[in-house]
Chains A and B, each alone.
Chain A
């Protein structure tokens, strides 16, 4: 019998031969050592190729089970990271935007002078190039649409009322932004009697406000309007009589607060610089802290303010500004989860540097009260926030201002 060919051996080993053929091959292999060797070699090839093909199959299984969990976890981690980033960025933007908006609102509603001074003076000095743009547009709105004066009045009254701690934050902010919409500067400067009406409306629109609180609340208003007498602005020549009448109230209020402020202990816990602002954490009582925010980089702030002011102008002109206070409240929720540590609000803006009078704005979000005012020497908007009533914050503010003045005095000589 002829020797077996390789194909037959493989067929036989694969069990593909018929019973007859298989028997014939088997018989031959037993007798033929040469074919037995060939069969052994074929077995080797079959086993080896099978192993190679298995390696081909197993390769992904050998690699992927180890790598797959990592790959599956990674996207989630990245997604979470991305979400956090977006939320953080959004918070920052909303805060800055909101802070600017509300500040302008307060400025125009309470003092009416800051915005105008900024317009008339900054245009020439160019200290804060953004202020003229933003305020210009505000003024334009007021001038071109006289019918918004009425809402402006209402907003003004509400802003004053909003200093009450028990008022809802959204409502308050909406009112403030509404004031920005209407831009009362024109109102005060051109027709002083309108101010009268606005003042008169306070009790009417906010009947729940206790009158004593109201007086204290009127402090910034009086101060602001009083400032108008000394401002060399073309718009602000008229209302001399009203500010003078209100000025004493302001002084009384400040001194009262000042006296109360003496009793507070004020301990600097730590100071940190974040995003162009110095944030100081003061401990006023064990476990009770306030956050004091002060912008440090004027150039940077100017750049930031450019975008914001245009956004604000657009928003207020289109009347959609009411949406932002809600956003700001949300942002406060995000950034103030720790009850012990008040929110650090980085809303510091280098605004109307020439504003002669510090107007105070109050904002309550999530139990955290934030007051902001314009520093008379630097023109920066300073912010103080903590979990306490606004009156207490005002006292702390006075303390801080005094300390700052003392520090500045030390540095000078």
Chain B
């Protein structure tokens, strides 16, 4: 069974599905509005602060504080 890991544990170039986040309030809303909501498929383009993910056609930069709170089910 595949388990979710923090985004920061993915390797560069690895893809996965966003399971959820520990963010709350407006941060969570903004993340979803940017395209990073539950079940979104993403690819990690760059590791380290800032972490850069690609979701559909968008590249999104995330600070360490955000990336640590995102949980992703990595593709096998």
**A, B co-complexed:** no
